[in-house]
Amino acid sequence: MDVRQRDHIETVVLTTTGQPPVAARMHDAVIQSSWHRCVHEYGLDPTRMQEARIVPAQRLREHQQRIDDFARIARYGLETLYGQVAGTGYVVLLTDVDGVAVDYLGDDGADAGLRRAGLYLGAQWSEKGAGTCAVGTALATGHALTVHRADHFDATHIPLTCTAAPLFDSQGRLHAILDISALSSPLTKDSQTFALYLVRTYASRIEDAYFLRRHRRDWILKLSPAPEFIDVAPEYLIALDENGCLVGHNRRAQQMLMAEAGFDSMQSSLLGMRFDALFALAPEQLGRFVYSRPSEERVVRLSRSAKRLYLSAMPPMVPLQADTVSNRQASLPAELASLSGGDEALQRQLHLAARLVDAPINLLINGETGSGKEYFARALHRASARRNGPFVAVNCAAIPETLIESELFGHLPNSFSGAGPKAKRGLIQEADGGTLFLDEIGDMPRELQSRLLRVLAEGEVLAIGASRPVPVDVRVISATHHPLDALIGDGRFREDLYYRLNGARLVLPPLRERSDLDWLIDKFLVPGFTVSDSARAQLRRHRWTGNLRELRNAIEYARAVCNDGQIEARDLPEGIGGQGADSADAARLTPSTPEAGPVERDALDAECALLTQHLRAHGWNLSAVARELGISRMTLYRRMARHGIQSPNRTDAVSVRRE
């Protein structure tokens, strides 16, 4: 401990015990209030000398994932800000609401010193943990400030100069902190005035960029006291829903409207208020302000104060929709046309797909298990300009969680236990120039979802153990039978990843709802085989819980056991269209209950019978059955457990029971 540190500790102790020395006068009221909080609210000891705290890598990833969508939008702002201060000893930090630095830009040559000081990725700068500091005190007060040298609570930090500004979301909640800091500054606190200006400016730009992204499907109103600035640098941003109610605002708009509404506290909420309760304009008239008139004529007044503002309105972004007018439908490429025998619902999806085949957006295919999602994705690839590139299919449910990261992203030699001495290209990189099909995307482990999000956002992939990402050009088509919105609600799927994947959504109808069953039956036949009327009637009666995969397997089974190429009803697998099978309509009308009703029991019994037949045909070789059904062994185990099927082979008997 040196003399400066001893003197600083004495100043903090005397100030927080009600005996402020003359030296305390150089610290403003915000700093002194923070010192008091540190001692009296957080119980921090001014005599402590605590080194910077860097959170472990796993915890850092968790913090990054929570703020990933915001951080990605903020990144350009951080880079531009760092361009303003690079070479002057400053670093730029973005922290979350816990004060953990989730993004960082700094001088690579000073890494060791910056890490020791805590001006580094993963550093924890909450006021409760680190004492008075720019990040922590900005979090505590909600205001931008500079904490310069001896302003810091902890004597370890008194060489540092740090300037931070809070970042608020469109609901008025403090969301993050933007900070620029330096290891030392020989000058007075006044020397940081420009740093404070820069941080405030870029914090405002980042907030506005996030606002525009978040509310692209709402009415966005840009307002300014000067007409020349409403389109280039509006001061106020407001978002309205379709009913004309406020659903978002930037910080400056919040402060202005709170005063206009007469609210005393920033804790009060403007959200849900009608636009015409705040402005002398009906929401129905906003169309007049959509770039159609000179800016100086786009005048609007506040209801209470009659203050004059200039308004520019942006209508909601309209999602791409299918054109249902037949004479304007795109002609179907042969690859897509081959998927349908004329079913109306599927035809609509195919025509939409034809319009999206080369669109620069990712596609999400929804459909039940076995409904042909991979066939659909392959057809899209073959119909697209990427047809000469690779088509790489990945079943996210079939790859063990311990391997899926290395399989997708690749790895360097010996980069983790079991990696081996040779590098391996990941499947994402293998798909470069082509299409990456991610089947059962809802089963992807959440910790990998943020890594995939970065691939989609940045167009580059970072292998395990690598320090530099590799650019990739892939079109991602994902598929799932899960309702992803339910997974998002349960916290099992990232909402920001969902919006990245769901550039457009295609829905495949289940087989029981399709009108082209006869066409499909004929498609799965091979020359030399026919289906009798009785067998065809029985196939029509079946509910097809396994969809196309179940139909194909049933036809293949019947072909194998029939006589002279004629498939009769007796040749169909047990449970296919037999007694008790209900129509698709009856099945759809059956309510869902905890106990399976007759329709569900019949469907389960049919699936059980078909599964047993496959197992017996392959001599209970589970790997062979899983391959034939196109599922993983673990999925096969789960289906066997559901039906209480136990393998007679000891090597495959893994405690498979009905739960």
pLDDT score recorded for residue 492 = 86
Residue 325 pLDDT level (bands cut at 50, 70, 90): very low
If we measure between CA atoms, which residue out of 561, 513, 509, 515 comes closest to residue 535?
Answer: 561
What 3-state DSSP class applies to 124?
strand
d(CA 575, CA 643) in angstroms, rounded, equals: 14
Instruction: With cut-offs at 50, 70 and 90, classify the pLDDT of residue 2.
Output: confident
Element (H, E) at 202: helix 193-214
Between 604 and 432, name the one with better pLDDT: 432
What's the rounded mean pLDDT across residues 231-243? 90
Q: Is there a contact between 521 and 537 (Cβ–Cβ < 8 Å)?
A: no
Residue 394's nearest CA partner among 329, 347, 455 is: 455
pLDDT at position 181, please? Answer: 96
**pLDDT tens-digit profile of 272-322?**
899 999 999 998 888 888 765 677 888 999 999 999 999 998 888 755 444
Q: Is the pLDDT at 613 greater than 80, yes or no?
A: no
In this prediction, residues 191-220 reach a mean pLDDT of 93
Lowest model confidence (mean pLDDT) among 329-338, 482-491, 497-506:
329-338
Using an 8 Å Cβ cutoff, are 100 and 61 in contact?
no
pLDDT value at residue 456: 85
For residues 445 and 404, what is the distance between their CA atoms, to the nearest angstrom? 9
User: How far apart are the C-alpha atoms of 154 and 45, rounded to whole Å?
Assistant: 9
Q: Is 636 left (phi over 0), alpha (psi -120 to 50) or beta?
A: alpha
Residue partners of 571: CB distance under 8 A and separation at least 6:
535, 557, 558, 561, 562
Residues 6+ apart with CB under 8 A from 493: 442, 446, 449, 484, 487
pTM for the predicted model, two decimal places: 0.52
Does the structure show a pLDDT above 50 at 212? yes
**Distance in angstroms (rounded) separating the CA atoms of residues 573 and 642:** 20
Tell me the mean pLDDT in the region 410-425.
73
Give the confidence band of 418 by pLDDT, cuts at 50, 70, 90: low
Contact 396, 439 (CB under 8 A): yes
CA distance 629 to 225: 66
Q: Starting at the earlier edge strand, list the strands of the sheet with 236-240.
A: 246-249, 236-240, 219-224, 308-314, 299-301
Nearest 5°: phi and psi at 507? -120, 120
Residue type, 265: S
Q: With pLDDT > 70 as the criterion, what percentage of the chain qualifies?
A: 88
pLDDT tens digits for range 353-411: 998 888 888 899 998 888 899 999 999 999 999 998 999 998 887 777 667 787 888 87
- Looking at residue 656, its amino acid is V
Residue 580 has pLDDT above 50, yes or no: no
In the structure, what pLDDT confidence band is assigned to residue 256 with cuts at 50, 70 and 90?
A: very high
- Outline where 262-400 has alpha helix (H): 334-337, 344-356, 373-383
Nearest to 128 by CA among 39, 57, 52: 39
What is the DSSP-derived secondary structure letter of residue 471? E
Two tokens, residue 390: 């690779």
pLDDT digits (tens, 9 = 90+) for 143-160: 999 999 999 999 999 999
Domains along the sequence of the chain with CATH: 4-205 (3.30.450.40), 215-314 (no CATH), 326-493 (3.40.50.300), 512-617 (1.10.8)
Average pLDDT of 146-175?
A: 94
Q: What is the C-alpha separation between 211 and 251, in angstroms, rounded? A: 10
